[in-house]
Amino acid sequence: MAKKEENKNLEFLESPEGLKQELGHDIEKVQQAVEKNKGLVSGVAGAIIVAVIGYFGYKYYVATQDEAAQAKMYNAVYKFEADSNKVAAQEFAKLADEFGGHAGNLSNFYAGAAELKEGKYDAAIEHLKAFSSSDLLVQARAYSLIGDAYAEKKSFGEAIDYYKKASEYKANKFFTPSYLMKLAAAYEANKQNKEALDVYNEIVEKYAESAEYINAKKYKAVLEGSVSE
């Protein structure tokens, strides 16, 4: 019975349609933010997505862990959601060392996200690489955040690798287009215009209903001239 209930709780992470229904207004907020910030590699849309992921990741966590771990996680999550990133990063780093299993794993995700906001890119990469999950949403986001950290370090080759992982991981119409936009931007920053053009083409052809479609079409037109020269 417990296993059946756990599977039910995780269904929204495995199904794009279920995910949209479960996140409801949060998805709308993400889409609105992306619509207003389409050209950004990272920014407010990314911050909102991290918050959404964090909330549901924590909801799953509290359903599977002991009370002592829940209490410690709750305090750290509260600081994270309140944008107390320095304190949150420190607390989650400690929790990642203290706990194994789901608690330590999820703490690595939070620690990495908080460290990224704090500009501690190497620490963020280390914690996010230590995180792993089989669900639809959080693992792809972790890959994308690692890409963001490398992009901030101007290590565009590594950023490309992780944006690719994010875009290829259980591709869906809700989040994959935003990862592809980051991938294309990283290719452009790395002076790989042909590869960037291919990615913009993919967005235009596969994700015409996405918020990223218009910008992808615009950037595609700009690159087509330079690539053909």
The ranges of the chain with pLDDT < 50 are 1-49, 52, 55, 62-63
- What pLDDT, on the 0 to 100 scale, is given for residue 225? 77
What sign does the CA torsion over 10, 125, 187, 33 have?
Answer: positive
Looking at residue 229, its pLDDT comes to 57
The number of helices, as runs of H, and strands, as runs of E, in the chain is 13, 0
Residue located via tokens 């039910």: 8
What pLDDT, in 10s, does the model give residues 190-201?
999 999 999 999
Provide the pLDDT for residue 100: 74
- Residue 1: what pLDDT? 43
**For residue range 31-73, what is the model confidence (pLDDT) as tens digits?**
343 343 344 344 434 444 455 455 455 555 544 555 666 677 7
Instruction: Please report, in angstroms and rounded to a whole number, the separation of the first and last CA atoms in the chain.
Output: 63
Which pLDDT score, from 0 to 100, does residue 53 have? 53
**Cα dihedral 117, 162, 110, 21 sign:** positive
Rounded to an integer, what distance in angstroms lies between the CA atom of residue 192 and that of residue 105? 35
